[in-house]
Amino acid sequence: MVSMKAKRELVARFRKDYEGSGRSEKGRILDSLCQTTGWARKYAMHALKALDVAPPRQRRRRARVYGPSEEAALVKVWKLSGFLASKRLAPFLDEFLSALERHGELSLPEPTRSKLAAISASTIDRLLRRHRNAHPPALSLTRPGSLLKREVAVRTGTDWNDARPGFCEIDTVGHCGGKLDDAHFWTLGITDVSTGWSEFAPLKSKGREETLMKLKSLRARLPFDLLGLDFDNGSEFLNYHLVRFCQSEGILLTRCRPYHKNDQCRIEQKNGALVRKHAGYGRYDTDKQFALLNRLYGVLRLLVNFFEPSLKGKEKAATPYRRLLASGILSKDKADELESIYLALNPVKLREELLKVKMELHELESLVSFLDEATV
């Protein structure tokens, strides 16, 4: 079989003779060309009459920017970040690399570091495609509360000034392990709509007094004033204890529409991405497990608020800490206090502690995680 390159050479050789020949000579040239190439006579005539076009140039492929060494470094940093999504990781990479270097957890060659600091979200997705794992679905055990619905309005788009930190969504997550009764623990979570700052605490029950006590504890941890609370229609929130407390403190109360979980999309997302991801779906009902949940959330609040950027609409991904600083509501003393906490935190040590608590909580001797590869 004659190659296309050889056919082009034949056409180039016959073309001059063909153009200056008579009818009979052109016929012999066509016969010879068709016999050699297998072309139809009409196509052979077209090829001989066509302009001598140069063969197409071979496309020059772009040089590969991110090679195996950059991919290995990215995988390591991605695991140390807690498997952040690409659009959250890309704008945070330079800051996160600085934190790792500041505490001696990572040292990359300058060319590799520069490439990672400039990497795009789409390139991160491409390089990490074969390293990703699936995540389990979420679970909700909300029980409706019938009291005080007339006193607590359904939240609308005009109730809050969402741009200002202090307006929060709150919810509970059950740790029943699939056995629905009242003898298991719960997690109370609160997240700020503006910054994404989140706090969590375990509950031994969803009793009204204990829920209010833990809410006061979470409020004290927030680095800003609590201005508003939005919750579902569960009885742990729709009760006189909590409503009267919030009214006396000047905290605006609203509730979501019944059976519309997306009304509380922010705290629902935290329930799955943080509580279920780290505390899991098991049953917790012992004093030891309660203490471990307290330790777990003590570590998790530092990781989430200082080292895990989140996406918010069309804004660039940023950590709750950075969003809070950018809001301009903090006093200089409070901003300096948060900065000193941030600079003292080692994200790798925090993840090691988180892993240790999770191993104890799930009663595992070992747990396959980012540390297996990232700290070798």
Contact 189, 171 (CB under 8 A): yes
What does the domain layout of the chain look like in residue ranges? 4-49, 68-131, 153-345
Q: What angle do CA 197, 77, 372 make, to 5 degrees?
A: 105
Instruction: Look at residue 55 in the predicted model and tell me its pLDDT.
Output: 60
Segment 179-191 shows an average pLDDT of 86
Q: Which CATH superfamily is domain 153-345 in?
A: Ribonuclease H-like superfamily/Ribonuclease H (3.30.420.10)
| E strand residue ranges, the chain | 153-154, 167-175, 185-192, 198-203, 228-231, 252-255
CB–CB of 169/231 below 8 Å? yes
Is beta strand 185-192 parallel, antiparallel or unpaired with respect to 167-175? antiparallel
CA angle 196, 113, 70 (to 5 degrees): 100
Taking the C-alpha atoms of residue 290 and residue 160, their distance in angstroms, rounded to an integer, is 35
Residue length of the chain: 376
Task: Report residue 312 as tokens.
Answer: 């918010």
Q: CA 218, 221, 276, 326: dihedral to nearest 10 degrees? A: 130
Instruction: Kindly tell me the number of DSSP H helices and DSSP E strands found in the chain.
Output: 17, 6
Task: Check pLDDT > 70 for residue 190.
Answer: yes
Q: pLDDT of 231-258, one tens digit each?
A: 887 778 888 888 889 899 999 988 877 6
Kindly state the tokens that stand for 114. Answer: 């520069």
Cα distances (Å, whole numbers) of residue 265 to 108, 225, 271: 38, 22, 10
Mean pLDDT for the stretch of residues 195-210: 93
pLDDT bucket at 135, cuts 50 / 70 / 90: very low
Taking the chain, what is the end-to-end CA distance rounded to the nearest angstrom?
A: 56
What pLDDT shows up at residue 143? Answer: 47
Tokens of 54: 């140069």
Confidence of residue 372 (pLDDT cuts 50, 70, 90): very low
Burial class (CB in 10 A: 0-12, 13-18, 19+), 34: middle
Q: Is the pLDDT of residue 364 over 80?
A: no
- Residue written as tokens 């579902």? 232
E-only strand ranges, 94-184: 153-154, 167-175
Residue 160 has pLDDT above 70, yes or no: no
* Rounded (10°) CA dihedral 238, 240, 244, 245: -80
Tokens 């006061």 belong to 216
Nearest-10 Cα torsion for 84, 87, 93, 96: -40
Question: CA 370 to CA 376: how far, in whole Å?
Answer: 10
The two tokens of residue 199 are 């706090």
Q: Alpha-carbon distance 268 to 272, whole Å? A: 7
pLDDT of residue 161: 65
304 pLDDT above the threshold of 90: yes
3-state secondary structure of 186: strand
d(Cα 39, Cα 160) in Å, to the nearest integer? 77
C-alpha closest to that of 263 among 342, 185, 160, 187: 160
Residue 59 CB coordination number (10 Å): 6
pLDDT in tens, 256-291: 776 666 667 888 889 888 999 999 888 999 999 999
**Distances 319 to 96, 100, 197 between C-alpha atoms, Å:** 11, 16, 8
Residue indicated by tokens 């009242």 = 182
Residue 159's pLDDT is: 56
Mean pLDDT of all residues belonging to the chain: 84
